[in-house]
Amino acid sequence: NAGVTQTPKFRVLKTGQSMTLLCAQDMNHEYMYWYRQDPGMGLRLIHYSVGEGTTAKGEVPDGYNVSRLKKQNFLLGLESAAPSQTSVYFCASTDPGQGYEQYFGPGTRLTVT
Amino acid sequence: AQTVTQSQPEMSVQEAETVTLSCTYDTSESDYYLFWYKQPPSRQMILVIRQEAYKQQNATENRFSVNFQKAAKSFSLKISDSQLGDAAMYFCAYRSAGGSNYKLTFGKGTLLTVNP
């Protein structure tokens, strides 16, 4: 049982490049989330999904897109990376039937130069 | 919208001593959940303790306990007998009990240093 995994763990992009971050969970959770963590800012919600085929905006959605084509996967896309998107990105999942905890992945450190 | 405030960016404690991390929140809701997450240098987010707002009794998990003051909207974390492994960033988080998305709102974090 791997829990929540994220691919890749590290990435360096040039301004204007695109990339996709993959989050996968093997706990059959309905809800999945993407957060970004910046120094002194805590974790802020980017987008989330309450089920396969659904997505919704969080607190800081601009510059990102997401897709939830399969229940176990939640993809975060950057179409044209900007230096302001340099951050650590966390994926999390939870399920109403599992109680209250959100389970987090190990994070992806992204640097945009 | 709910907000979570952690007023102490950094704290330090001597090994074996007790330290309290502060958290206040703002909400108009009466039913909600509060959490403390620990993030060690490995970056992994680990749930330390949770509190349901409708429960008057303060939650306790081994050396970790909370002081939940609902009227004051305060939710502090006490770590007793501090250990070197407690050194980490600690985040306070809020989740509404209503709604259908289970979103968490985080504070900005408190970096705890444990001195030997």
pLDDT in tens, chain B (116 residues): 789 999 999 999 999 999 999 999 999 998 899 999 999 999 999 999 999 998 889 999 999 999 999 999 999 999 999 999 999 999 999 998 877 778 899 999 999 999 99
By the 8 A CB rule, do B74 and B23 touch? yes
CA dihedral A26, A29, A33, A34 (to 10 degrees): 10
B109 contact residues in A (CB cutoff 8 A):
40, 42
Give the residues across from B70 on adjacent strands: none
Q: What is the pLDDT of residues A34-90, one digit of tens each?
A: 999 998 889 999 999 999 999 999 999 999 999 999 999 999 999 999 999 999 999
Instruction: Report the pLDDT value the prediction gives residue A96, as an integer from 0 to 100.
Output: 75
Instruction: Report the pLDDT value the prediction gives residue B56, as an integer from 0 to 100.
Output: 84
* Beta carbons of A40 and B9 less than 8 Å apart: yes
CA distances from A48 to A19, A52, A55, B103 (A): 18, 11, 6, 8
CA distances from A58 to A34, A43, A44, B32, B112 (A): 9, 12, 8, 19, 29
Residue A112 Cα, gap to closest chain B Cα (Å): 20
- Residue of B46, B102, B106 to mutate, testing the A interface (most A Cβ within 10 Å of its Cβ): B102
For A43, nearest residue in chain B (alpha carbons): B106
Nearest to B91 among A43, A45, A100 (CB): A43
Instruction: Report the pLDDT value the prediction gives residue B99, as an integer from 0 to 100.
Output: 73
Instruction: Report the pLDDT value the prediction gives residue A99, as an integer from 0 to 100.
Output: 64
Instruction: Report the pLDDT value the prediction gives residue B108, as an integer from 0 to 100.
Output: 96
* Beta carbons of B50 and A101 less than 8 Å apart: yes
Q: Does A61 touch chain B (CB under 8 A)?
A: no
Stretch 97-116 of chain B: residues touching chain A, C-beta under 8 Å:
100-109
* Beta carbons of A100 and B50 less than 8 Å apart: yes
Q: Does B89 touch chain A (CB under 8 A)?
A: no
Question: Looking at residues A11-24, what average pLDDT do you find?
Answer: 97
Q: Does A60 touch chain B (CB under 8 A)?
A: no
